[in-house]
A = this chain, B = another copy of it.
Amino acid sequence: MQAAILGAGVIGAAWAARLRENGIPCTVFDPAPDAAKKLADVLDNADRAYAKLTMAQRPQTAAVRLAATMGDAVRDADLIIEAVPERIDIKLKVYAEVEASARPDAIIASSTSGFLPSDLQAGMKHPERLLVAHPFNPVYLLPVVEIVAGKATSKEAVERIMAFLPEIGMKPILIRKEIDAFVADRLLETLWREALWLIKDGICTTQELDDIMRFGFGLRWAQMGLFETYRTAGGDAGMRHFMAQFGPCLTWPWSRLTDVPEFTDELVDLIAGQSDAQSGHMTIRELIHARDDNLIAIQQALKANNWGAGKLLADYEKRLFDRAARADAITPGPHLIRTTERRVPVDWADYNGHMNEARYLQAFGDATDALMRIVGCDADYVAGGHSFFTVETHIRHLDEVRVNEVVTTETQVISGAGKKMHLFHELRHADGRLLATGEHMMVHVSLVTRAACDPLPHVARKMMELAALHAALPVPDGLGRSVGMKK
């Protein structure tokens, strides 16, 4: 698979970032003189974000190449993403140029926020492959994509894009009818218009309005949308009760719906000034990092509850883990096994400014999980009713590590026979420093009886095989220590 991105603005660059983090090479065309710099900034932000978003093993980060011409960019592409400025004349000119070089079956997905795909495809030679795939900033972290088909769009093109986007962690929603601005931007635009009135009329400042959102209904909408929230608020009587209660308000003067504020210099000055007062203490780059950290943390938090965007993240990771497990070319031999490699996530730090002690065990737990998958105790094995439980742990916390630094674990199987597996992990900084050692006794259990039992034969065999190979390795320093023991 090969993608072309036309336009390296906030949206185009972030499409390239999401694709490349998922192993899909991209060719980008943007005639702007600062395109390379803007693209590099967004790719850097996405690198930083993906290191924190998931510990699953993604495909190798793919290359992003800046093409010299549009023809060069699109020639070999299976998917062509158009993210040029929101002017229909520009878009139509781009499609004509694309069709002169692209393969006729390459999908052309427009990132437009509002134009009808029927209007976009009107003059095309192969209009059946054009559709709208409208993503949201930051594209590399926000999952949703509105998919809109035009009159001439083929069912096959829609099916291809709907099947592809979940592979890169996204959530495509097929809009049922073409309409200006689709769904999200109609909702955003209507709220934006009302917000402008509130600022213009001096009811609140941008800071106060933002706080009302993020300490209030924004928290609701990160996990349930409008209707599910209201259903919940309706109590046991649900949606019908809620509608009966709040229906009458529709005729009340509870918004300035019938009018839009004039877009004057005074209004721009007022809002830009308030926005400076609110957020001017941070650079845009700092704001973007904060935003990304928050979006990651929220999605990870929802993952723990198996809900919404968090469930989507879990599904995405499961696919990655499964793929990695299949691809795992662990050559068994008398050497330590590299079980994990990760950047220390931002929420692993504590008030001492370094990785919290409990995260050492989490790092070792993940290393144990990786080793378990290697001996065949994977998701299916657990679903089948067996697993390993840790019964004893010893950790030497030897050195500090800070957020965003890269750490790895290497694992030695000390013994593996019958119900027991004895593991020793080393946690190292990317610079080679030994940060900690973890020694763990695992017991194989039935998840039904919650009692110890023998592993299934293929797991028992693999365990013994590794233990035998690792018996040739030196006894690791610190093995068998108790707390406070003299060296």
Instruction: List residues of A (166-217) whose CB comes within 8 Å of B's CBs.
Output: 171, 173-177, 179-196, 198, 201-217
A-B CB contact pairs (8 Å), 30 listed: A142-B215, A144-B211, A171-B211, A176-B205, A180-B252, A181-B255, A182-B203, A184-B216, A186-B194, A192-B226, A210-B224, A210-B228, A214-B221, A214-B222, A219-B222, A223-B298, A227-B279, A228-B275, A238-B275, A239-B272, A239-B275, A243-B271, A293-B307, A297-B302, A297-B305, A300-B301, A352-B382, A394-B395, A394-B482, A480-B482
Additional A-B contacts beyond A228-B278, A391-B396 (5; CB < 8 A): A114-B252, A175-B204, A218-B221, A222-B298, A224-B287
A151 interface residue per 8 A CB criterion:
no
Give the CA-CA distance A342 to B314 in the complex, in Å: 27
Determine if B189 and A249 form an interchain contact, defined as CB atoms under 8 angstroms apart.
yes
A38 to chain B: which residues have CB within 8 Å? Answer: 235
The 10 residue pairs across chains A and B that have the minimum distance between CB atoms? A210-B225, A218-B221, A304-B347, A222-B222, A301-B301, A297-B301, A144-B216, A358-B362, A223-B294, A144-B215
CB distance from A412 to the nearest CB of B (A): 13
Q: Give 1 or 0 for each of A282-304: 1 = CB within 8 Å of chain B CB.
A: 00110110110111011111101
In residues 366-398 of chain A, which contact B (Cβ within 8 Å)?
A: 368, 379, 382, 387, 389-398
Q: Which residues of the partner chain B approach A234 to less than 8 Å between Cβ atoms?
A: 284
A213 to B364, alpha carbons, bound, how many Å? 37
Could you tell me if B204 and A483 are in contact, using CB atoms closer than 8 angstroms?
A: no
Contact partner, A186, options B228, B254, B291, Cβ 8 Å: B254
Chain B, residue nearest A414 (CB): B484
Closest CB-CB distance, A354 to chain B, in whole Å? 8
Determine whether A447 belongs to the interface, using a CB cutoff of 8 Å to chain B.
yes
- A291–B143 Cα gap in the complex (Å)? 20
Contact A258 B255 (CB under 8 A): no
- A interface: dominant SS: helix
Q: Which residue of chain B is the closest to A223 with respect to CB atoms?
A: B294
Chain B residues contacting A195 (CB-CB under 8 Å) are: 187, 226-227
Fill in one digit per residue for A224-256: 1 if any B CB lies within 8 Å of its CB, else 0. 111111011111101110011011111111111
Hey, what's the 0/1 contact readout for A138-149 against B, CB within 8 Å counting as 1? 000011101000
Bound-state Cα–Cα, A365 to B355, Å: 12
Out of B202, B203, B215, B312, name the residue touching A309 (CB < 8 Å): B215
**Shortest distance in angstroms between A115's beta carbon and chain B's nearest beta carbon?**
10
The stretch of A57-65, A101-109, A260-268 in contact with B is: A260-268
A260 and B250 contacting across the interface, CB-CB below 8 Å: yes
When chains A and B are docked, how far (Å) is the Cα of A251 from the Cα of B287? Answer: 30
Instruction: For A236, give the chain B residue with the smallest CB separation.
Output: B284
- B308 and A294 contact, CB distance less than 8 A: yes
Q: Which residue from B10, B227, B257, B299 sits with its C-beta under 8 Å from A206?
A: B227
* Given the contacts A220-B295, A481-B482, A287 and B228 also touching, CB distance less than 8 Å: yes
Which residues of the partner chain B approach A389 to less than 8 Å between Cβ atoms? 352, 397, 400
**Distance A439 CA – B396 CA, assembled complex (angstroms):** 12
Interface set, chain A 413-447, CB cutoff 8 A to B: 422, 439-441, 447
Question: Least Cβ distance of A329 to chain B in Å?
Answer: 25
Within 8 Å of chain B (Cβ to Cβ): is A405?
Answer: no
